[in-house]
Structure 1
Amino acid sequence: MNDAGDEGVDEHEDTGSEQRRDPTDPEETVVAADRLLQSLRAYGVEYVFANLGTDHTPLLEAAARLRAADAGDSYPTVLSCPHEFVAMSAAHGYAAATGDPQAVLVHVDVGTQNLGAAMHNAHRAAVPVFVISGLAPITETGYPGSRDHAVHYAQDVFDQPGIVREYCRWTSEYQSPADPATYVRRGLERANAAHPGPVYLTASREALELPVTPSASLSRGPRRTTPSGADRATVETLAERVAAAERPVVVTTDFGTEPSEERVETLVAFAEAAGAGVVEHGPTALNFPRNHPLHVGYEPTELFDDADLLLLVDVDVPWVPANGRPNEGTEVVQIDPDPTKATYPHWSYDVDLTVGADARRTLDAVTALLDPTDGEEGRTHWERVHERAAAQRADELAAAREADGISPVELSAAVGDAIDSETVLVEGAVTSRTSVLDHVERTKPGSYVARGGAGLGWAGGASVGIKLARPDSRVVSLVGDGSYLFSNPVAHAWLAAEYDAPTLTVVYNNARWNAVRSATAAQHPDGDAVADGVPESEFGTPLDLSVPARAAGLHTQRVEEEAELADALAEAVDAVDGGKPAVVDVRIR
């Protein structure tokens, strides 16, 4: 048995050394690891956000071979990420800014588990990310990459992809002697399918060390699915129903997630022609300019008494039934490429007309059939609603400034004053989110990004990924104190400093889990927990949240007084504009 194993080593090592003469020559066999890296780059992946382990030695050696062959530009730039959650969040941010999936490299089952909430976020936000994970070696001896440490036994599990399968559009294991490029191309196709999201590929050390014969073309990239608009008859039906409505309302979450001004322009043109108010319910992007007179807020249930037609456009959760339901007789129309929401176990909204089609193309076609004079009543009505909301926000800010301490409203308004319309705002403020949406005005496509899922801590890594994707843009993330702690703050601070991706993080520090306190008060308003002040939600020991960033040499400040706020934010913005990442920890009431 041992002799046969030794012969196996000689055979594979001889074959491997022969092909290493030129890892870039398509006429020769190449090591699978070389081919994997080359295909990622050829198919458009700029970065591999990597948290490395012992299972990645073939890829590290492959990168060295390519550099030695003066082919360093034939594989993606590898960025070392001190934590997997930050790596996945950074890739998410990059893809959200560009539409192009990037790669994440993690270590066997434990690294996959550390992706955790970040994988959930990309899944729910429908953001494409290509995740690659090593496997425990499958052989004990006889092959390059065979087990050589006790940990390789501990890391061997029955179904590693099962950890994340529910969150992925595709999972697979690379198996030699197949061309790795075929797996990369298939994974990227599935990541960018009609309902985008993460994909997950595993590979053992032995498989990545073996020679393969290239079969896939690197010049012909993965297919991208382009959903079509509705057919002519459906478009005409939609136009008739919109024209018949006096006060239509569009409810959307991620119509603007595709990084294109055209989508926002489409929604503006439709709303103006139809006389429709636009509600962004839990937005993950800027879908509609928030200073536009037809923007009518973020809570659709507040408009149900006024609306006579609801158009659900690219939205997973159009409203929360516990907060209200549409009035009897209000027609509900859904336009969505994924109308049945297959990734949701429960989706029980009543819809009168479902259109499974690309919303932008469909709304463009409907707008072309509308007579703008038909929407006059709706435009007048929703403009008044917009004006009333603006007046209420002004009153809210004035009242906040009269009270002691810094409120979330004051902090958000100060952030709005400190940045310009081109700044990319990365939002993870949780219970302070309403203040951000209301008081940090966003008008430009791509100027607002939110996580889309429930995994807190996303904004730190995501802001670095967005900065890498848009190096000429200022990137500012707004986070709660709990979210900041979840973000692995040292890891994302180091990532920003190491790879010249300066971002500003502003922490809304209320020294508690406010979401926990609020939920308890909502469910048991007269309960004992509320009477006690929900002490379990409090951070009893004061935390200086600027400290973690100092470990990476960032610009840091703490703010406890209103008089300090504007200057602190201005200094931090200047630091970031000058190339130095910054964190401002603001104590709010």
Structure 2
Amino acid sequence: MDVPREPPAESAESSTTSAAERLLRAWREHGVEYVFANLGTDHAPLLEAMARLRSAGESDAMPSVVVCPHEFVAMSAAHGYTAVTGTPQVVLVHVDVGTQNLGAAMHNAHRANVPVFVAAGLAPVTDSGYLGSRNHFVHYHQDVFDQPGIVREYCRWTDEYRPPADPADLVARGLERAQDAPAGPVYVTATREALEARFDDGELDELRDVTSAGEPGPSAESVAKLADAVSAAEAPVVITGGTCDPERLVTFAEATGAGVVEHASTRVGFPRDHPQHLGFDPAPTFERADLVVLASVEVPWIPSRGEPTPETTVVQIDPEPTKRTFPVWNFAVDERVAADPGETFDRLVEALDGEQAAGFAFAELAEQRRAERAATLESHRDAGALTPEVATDVVNGVVDESTIVVEDAVTAMGALREHLDVPVGDGMLSKGGAGLGWAGGAAVGAKLARPDARVVSIVGDGSYLFTHPAISAWLSAAVGAPTLTVIYDNGGWNAVERATLSQYPEGVVENDGLPERTFDPAPALTAPAGIVDAHTAVAENEAALAACLDDAVAAVDDGSPAVVHVRLDERP
């Protein structure tokens, strides 16, 4: 291995491989389909390696490169793709400044436990004499003391590629750490000089496998103890965050009469038309529940809104039950089982062997919830108000079994969950964290992952502006991944006003309002999509929305991105 001081001669190129090329080949061999890239001067060795592979007719030996004009969109797109496929993708960004632009998107992948391999260049470390040495004043500005420190808290692992190590080993290690529980982003850096390191082709080892122990299974002792708890329970409840295998959860619920609550879920964790689905807020179940099972849920309940009684047994089944990525996690748990919930449910059903004969204790609560949902929708329609509930019911008309809904509408989140008939799994994807704007890039990533799916992004007007909407629309068109974006416009930051009123219910804001939550003048929200030939429309009532959606779906099916701006009314 040698780090060349001068560009390698043609004869050397034919018998040596650069570290950059080795990285590209290793990513592809380990299943990476795409590098979502925002490029900079630090990527010159990677770009030259890509050109060499293309020139040699070996384009298939490296991932496809998706050029993303903003890092936040790139990371969100990789997040969306990975959430659908389960296979980590690569995000390539530019030194410290590009890393900073990942920002909230790294937070989202971190909190959603989505594995993404992030690679960033470093400022060159030599002033001159080496291939890749500093040749611009910006290389001095970009040299910082701890570049990985910008995102370290959001990563499962960080490292720097340092010759003479084999870059392929770095790739394997990174992918293993990204996918181990709790899964999440990893971050790797390299200088230009390091990426131009050369390896004799005859001395390169075969790529090692990416291995994983998988999520642990429950012990026989744990299964026996849980089976006793379930047998004794008359009103069991499962709270899931959406990552537990839905089919196994259904089998367990039906065998035990357990109600199921999805709380702060990132995916659809239980069929929403199932009679044992108890909605999205566990608090109404706590008065009666005598057993609460936490199945891979990050935030099981909000204590200020209600929590299990002291007499209720709380069992946690989770591959990583201590939640080491959360500084504060003070939820009272009686029994922790470090295991995959799906496998544990299978073992429990087998252990119970029909012994649990109790019926569904929450049938009345489930029926009441369904009746309230229908009554709310009817009252809004009777008032002629285009509320999030009514708008979502209309959007539901363009949703089918192949649809993926990507949601980022904070104050309409409840309406989306209650009124969209989406399939389990990736029928609805949520960002997991608090980084608004995720849906724009994530929708494109989801469409790349499932080209035959109809991908519908539903965002609030505030969230939409955070998506870098012009870039998201451009990316959708550029990669041939048309998505339908539906903007729920309530005139500004409604969530901010709600939070203020919640904290100060009798404060001045209650009487005087909050002008800071309003976007004034009102932005033309469909304008950014004009950067490409996107279909756009504005709807101000239910009939208009239905017509706009029909036209937008036709445009998307024909290959064009579409944006529908929905002007919402206040809830009556």
Shift of the alpha carbon at 1:443?
3.1
Shift of the alpha carbon at 1:15?
4.4
Q: Which residue of 1 aligns with 2:27?
A: 40
Partner of 2:6, secondary structure, is helix
Q: Which residue of 1 aligns with 2:351?
A: 369
Q: Which residue of 1 aligns with 2:194?
A: 207
The 10-residue stretch of structure 1 (269-278 or 574-583) with the greater mean CA deviation from structure 2: 574-583
Shift of the alpha carbon at 1:254?
2.9
Q: Which residue of 2 aligns with 1:430?
A: 410
Letter of the 2:44 partner, please give it: T
Q: Which residue of 1 aligns with 2:270?
A: 288
Partner of 1:12, secondary structure, is coil
Partner of 1:310, secondary structure, is strand
Shift of the alpha carbon at 1:128?
0.3
Shift of the alpha carbon at 1:218?
4.8
Q: Which residue of 2 aligns with 1:174?
A: 161
Q: Report the CA distance shift for 1:143/1:415 in structure 2 as closer, same or farther (over 3 A).
A: same
Shift of the alpha carbon at 1:375?
4.0
Provide Cα deviations, 1:110-150, integer angstroms capped at 9, x if missing partner. 00000000000000000000000011111111011111111
Q: Which residue of 2 aligns with 1:331?
A: 313
Q: Which residue of 1 aligns with 2:393?
A: 413
Shift of the alpha carbon at 1:217?
4.8
Normalised to the residue count of structure 1, the TM-score between the two structures is: 0.94
Provide Cα deviations, 1:59-104, integer angstroms capped at 9, x if missing partner. 1100000111111110000000010000000000011001100000
Q: Which residue of 1 aligns with 2:185?
A: 198
Provide Cα deviations, 1:351-383, integer angstroms capped at 9, x if missing partner. 111101111111110011224462432x2x323
Q: Which residue of 2 aligns with 1:260?
A: none
Q: Which of 244, 247, 252 is the equivalent residue of 2:232?
A: 244
Q: Which residue of 1 aligns with 2:143?
A: 156
Normalised to the residue count of structure 2, the TM-score between the two structures is: 0.97
Q: Which residue of 1 aligns with 2:446?
A: 466
1:140 aligns with 2:127: yes
Partner of 1:376, secondary structure, is coil
Shift of the alpha carbon at 1:14?
5.9
Q: Which residue of 2 aligns with 1:266?
A: 248
Count of residue correspondences: 567
Q: Report the CA distance shift for 1:113/1:375 in structure 2 as closer, same or farther (over 3 A).
A: farther
Q: Report the CA distance shift for 1:532/1:233 in structure 2 as closer, same or farther (over 3 A).
A: same
CA distance in 2, matches of 1:487, 1:318: 28
Shift of the alpha carbon at 1:448?
1.2
Partner of 1:461, secondary structure, is helix
Q: Which residue of 2 aligns with 1:253?
A: 241
CA distance in 2, matches of 1:193, 1:29: 34
Q: Report the CA distance shift for 1:363/1:507 in structure 2 as closer, same or farther (over 3 A).
A: same
CA distance in 1, matches of 2:223, 2:204: 40
Q: Indicate if the aligned counterparts of 1:544 and 1:585 stay in contact, CA closer than 8 A.
A: no
1:354 aligns with 2:336: yes
Partner of 2:356, secondary structure, is helix
1:562 aligns with 2:542: yes
CA distance in 2, matches of 1:158, 1:586: 47
Q: Which of 6, 14, 20 is the equivalent residue of 1:13?
A: 6
Q: Which residue of 2 aligns with 1:184?
A: 171
Q: Indicate if the aligned counterparts of 2:399 and 2:421 stay in contact, CA closer than 8 A.
A: no
Q: Indicate if the aligned counterparts of 1:276 and 1:375 stay in contact, CA closer than 8 A.
A: no
Q: Report the CA distance shift for 1:89/1:82 in structure 2 as closer, same or farther (over 3 A).
A: same
Shift of the alpha carbon at 1:560?
1.5
Q: Report the CA distance shift for 1:372/1:390 in structure 2 as closer, same or farther (over 3 A).
A: farther
1:480 aligns with 2:460: yes
Q: Which of 270, 275, 278 is the equivalent residue of 2:257?
A: 275
Q: Indicate if the aligned counterparts of 2:80 and 2:444 stay in contact, CA closer than 8 A.
A: yes
Percent of residue pairs identical: 54
CA distance in 2, matches of 1:372, 1:495: 53
Q: Which residue of 2 aligns with 1:455?
A: 435
Q: Which of 550, 555, 558 is the equivalent residue of 2:530?
A: 550
The unaligned stretches of length 5 or more in structure 1 are: 1-7, 22-27, 257-262
Shift of the alpha carbon at 1:57?
0.9
Q: Which residue of 2 aligns with 1:24?
A: none
Provide Cα deviations, 1:271-306, integer angstroms capped at 9, x if missing partner. 000110000001100110000000000001111012
The 10-residue stretch of structure 1 (308-317 or 382-391) with the greater mean CA deviation from structure 2: 382-391
Partner of 1:229, secondary structure, is coil
Q: Report the CA distance shift for 1:405/1:156 in structure 2 as closer, same or farther (over 3 A).
A: same
Shift of the alpha carbon at 1:185?
0.8
Q: Report the CA distance shift for 1:207/1:534 in structure 2 as closer, same or farther (over 3 A).
A: same
Q: Report the CA distance shift for 1:500/1:334 in structure 2 as closer, same or farther (over 3 A).
A: same
Letter of the 2:541 partner, please give it: E
Shift of the alpha carbon at 1:340?
0.4
Q: Indicate if the aligned counterparts of 2:159 and 2:187 stay in contact, CA closer than 8 A.
A: yes
Q: Indicate if the aligned counterparts of 1:130 and 1:187 stay in contact, CA closer than 8 A.
A: yes
Q: Describe how 1:376-391 pairs up with structure 2 within 5 A.
A: 376-377=358-359, 379=360, 381-391=361-371
Q: Which residue of 2 aligns with 1:573?
A: 553
Q: Which residue of 2 aligns with 1:521?
A: 501
CA distance in 2, matches of 1:83, 1:219: 32
Letter of the 2:241 partner, please give it: T
CA distance in 1, matches of 2:205, 2:550: 51
Q: Report the CA distance shift for 1:217/1:323 in structure 2 as closer, same or farther (over 3 A).
A: farther
Q: Describe how 1:218-229 pairs up with structure 2 within 5 A.
A: 218-229=206-217
CA distance in 2, matches of 1:529, 1:389: 32
Q: Which residue of 2 aligns with 1:322?
A: 304
Letter of the 1:363 partner, please give it: F
CA distance in 2, matches of 1:325, 1:184: 43
Q: Which residue of 2 aligns with 1:344?
A: 326
Partner of 2:209, secondary structure, is coil
Partner of 1:283, secondary structure, is coil
CA distance in 2, matches of 1:584, 1:246: 48
Provide Cα deviations, 1:309-346, integer angstroms capped at 9, x if missing partner. 00011011100111112112001000001100001111
Letter of the 1:116 partner, please give it: G
Partner of 2:159, secondary structure, is strand
Letter of the 1:18 partner, please give it: S
CA distance in 2, matches of 1:102, 1:51: 14
Letter of the 1:20 partner, please give it: E
The 10-residue stretch of structure 1 (383-392 or 59-68) with the greater mean CA deviation from structure 2: 383-392
CA distance in 2, matches of 1:160, 1:196: 22
CA distance in 2, matches of 1:424, 1:540: 33
Provide Cα deviations, 1:428-485, integer angstroms capped at 9, x if missing partner. 1111000000111223332111110110000110011011111111111111011000
The 10-residue stretch of structure 1 (528-537 or 499-508) with the greater mean CA deviation from structure 2: 528-537
Q: Which residue of 2 aligns with 1:116?
A: 103
Q: Indicate if the aligned counterparts of 2:76 and 2:442 stay in contact, CA closer than 8 A.
A: yes
Q: Which residue of 2 aligns with 1:66?
A: 53
The unaligned stretches of length 5 or more in structure 2 are: none
1:399 aligns with 2:392: no
Q: Which residue of 2 aligns with 1:308?
A: 290
Q: Report the CA distance shift for 1:218/1:401 in structure 2 as closer, same or farther (over 3 A).
A: farther
Partner of 2:168, secondary structure, is helix
Provide Cα deviations, 1:175-232, integer angstroms capped at 9, x if missing partner. 1122111111110110011211000000111111121246665554311331221011
Q: Which residue of 2 aligns with 1:3?
A: none
Shift of the alpha carbon at 1:562?
2.5
CA distance in 2, matches of 1:274, 1:495: 47
CA distance in 1, matches of 2:385, 2:263: 30
The 10-residue stretch of structure 1 (475-484 or 555-564) with the greater mean CA deviation from structure 2: 555-564
The 10-residue stretch of structure 1 (402-411 or 368-377) with the greater mean CA deviation from structure 2: 368-377
Partner of 1:421, secondary structure, is coil
Q: Indicate if the aligned counterparts of 1:510 and 1:588 stay in contact, CA closer than 8 A.
A: yes
Q: Indicate if the aligned counterparts of 2:116 and 2:185 stay in contact, CA closer than 8 A.
A: yes
